[in-house]
Amino acid sequence: MKNLHFAFFGILLAGSLHAQQQASGVVYADANGNGRRDGGETVIPDVSVTNGVEVVRTQADGSYQIPVGDDDIIAVIKPAGYAVPVDEYKLPRFYRIHKPAGSPELKYAGVAPTGELPEAIDFGLLPAEEHDEFTALIFGDPQPYTLEDMDWFARGVVAEVEGIENVPFGLSLGDLVGDNLDLFNPYIEVVRRVGIPWYNLMGNHDMNYDATRDELSDETYEARFGPANYAFNYGRVHFIVLDDILYPDPRDSSGYWGGFRADQLDFVENDLQFVPEDHLVVLAFHIPLEEEGDSYRDEDRQRLFDLLARFPHTLSLSAHTHIQRQNYFGREEGMDRDTPHHEYNVGTTSGDWYSGKLNESGVPYSTMRDGTPKGYAFLHFDGNEYRTEYRVAGMPETYQMEIYNPRVTIHERGTSAGIYVNFFMGREGDTVEYRVDDGKWTPMTYSVEQDPAYEASLYQWDTNEQLVPGRRGSNAIPSTHLWRGRVPVGLAPGEHTIEVRATDQFGKTHMGTSTYRLEPRAEQGR
């Protein structure tokens, strides 16, 4: 009986050793950029390497060793002062997939069998000049469901930033496509036109829906983009990119839920042990940490906050909602530190799913349900400080608000109409003021309600007796960046100019103007 016990233990141990091998290699400076280590090229010590959970550091000779199973991706965590190679599509190549048997059979193909573990997995990094002051370009939810949507994404957004300069990299915040994973390749072809290295993360519309376990829901994504969980450094900023979609939903095996597996949060914990506390930590994932109802697993968010609590400078980026808002998490929300954690829920490049009237180029305006026009964002970094900026597609960079007011009203007759300002990057507590005809600046009142300008745009579909080109947008929802002021009716009859100034959370002031006309009562016949 004793011998049988040891024989069974030996079988288990042999199986464990077979599944858990050791990957090893060297991280080096690829001075000539040819993708292989040549004589004279130096090694790089103290660089993090991960298998998706554990994180190890390279030794003085640039070497590392890390456990690897039969479904792992070994990745280098780019240090500051170096770049990772990119392929012909500008996709960063900082990883090596190890799936000897390949992905399981799914509707959309995953990773082909990779074969046996190579003797060495080396990572060549390109020496690069990096500055503490830099800018990143951010796309939320391109989400094309068809090639027509893809064309609208290309002409309506990508063409505007094609060939952009002085931006070292970009990042898409998930929902790269809309359920049809065959569109990954067309998406990659379109985004390569921007011309800069482009990182990606997985959204709930990028998953393998026929996967039976969450770990297998990213097989097609991995085949095209690499690991769904990874990290890199630039300047004094440490970026962590995560898949925060639990699929199938562990509560009922139907649909999805916002949150993380334990191994993903183990990766974050292991990764952060090598990040200086005075650095800015930027997390990027698809589903925001705060949504309506029970859309996020509380214990996952809490563990994440516990890991971040010792870092005074943090930011998270999300998309998914097809609106734009600023979320804050302080002690009451579980972030145990003096300064709250800021999450920027970024407006999307698809806007309201490519709805709305068509512009002169035949591309939908696609304003979102909270009145935010479709667009993209810039993140401006300076050391461990940051500033966010939103750009409305097809508009000048100064267009940061939409002003809605009656175009004409009666002189000296009170009106229940108001002057509304949708300050796209605004939040409760921001200062938004207005004045009329160089008069006194007057504070506007923060108001959580539907944006009347967006609601008015929907009436074209609801009241028109002819078909309107394009597709009706979604119904309006309360906006978190709307302010209201009174319409002055006691001024002289005629045209009047409204000026608005709004100061964002970073102290930058933005301006907007509109006009209205006062008509004398006599012209109204009473």
Selection from 352, 346, 348, 378 nearest residue 365 by Cα: 352
The DSSP result for 469-516, as a single string, is SSBPPPPP-B-SSEEEEE---SSPSEEEEEEEEEE-TTS-EEEEEEEE
Please report, for the chain, the start and end positions of each structural domain, with discontinuous segments joined by +. Answer: 2-124, 401-524
Model pLDDT, residue 291: 62
What is the Cα–Cα distance from 457 to 386, expressed in whole angstroms? 35
State the CATH architecture for 2-124. Sandwich (2.60)
Q: Given CA atoms 43, 46, 51, 52 in this order, what sign does their dihedral have?
A: negative
Model pLDDT, residue 400: 98
SS3 state of residue 273: coil
* Residue 110 in tokens: 């995953």
For residues 371 and 479, the answer to whether their CB atoms sit within 8 Å is: yes
Model pLDDT, residue 248: 96
For residues 248 and 212, the answer to whether their CB atoms sit within 8 Å is: yes
Consecutive H or E run containing 385: strand 385-392
pTM, entire model: 0.94
Pairing status of strand 341-345 against strand 314-318: parallel
What is the Cα–Cα distance from 274 to 419, expressed in whole angstroms? 51
Q: Which residue has the tokens 């006599």?
A: 522
304: which residues sit within 8 A by CB, 6+ positions away? 260, 265, 268, 283, 289
* Residue 52 in tokens: 């998706």
Q: Which residue has the tokens 């960063």?
A: 92
What is the Cα–Cα distance from 77 to 57, expressed in whole angstroms? 10
Q: What is the pLDDT of residues 254-310, one digit of tens each?
A: 899 999 999 999 999 999 999 999 999 999 999 999 866 789 999 999 999 999 999
332: which residues sit within 8 A by CB, 6+ positions away? none
Looking at the domain 401-524, which fold is it?
A: Immunoglobulin-like (2.60.40)
Helix H segments across 49-192? 147-153, 159-161, 184-191
Give yes or no on whether 2-124 and 401-524 have one common fold: yes
Under-50 pLDDT residues of the chain: 1-18, 523-524
For residue 523, CA distances in Å to 55, 435, 488, 491, 515 come to: 77, 27, 19, 16, 20
What is the Cα–Cα distance from 322 to 263, expressed in whole angstroms? 29
The amino acid at 466: Q
How long, in residues, is the chain? Answer: 526
Beta bridge partners of 497: 515
Model pLDDT, residue 293: 75
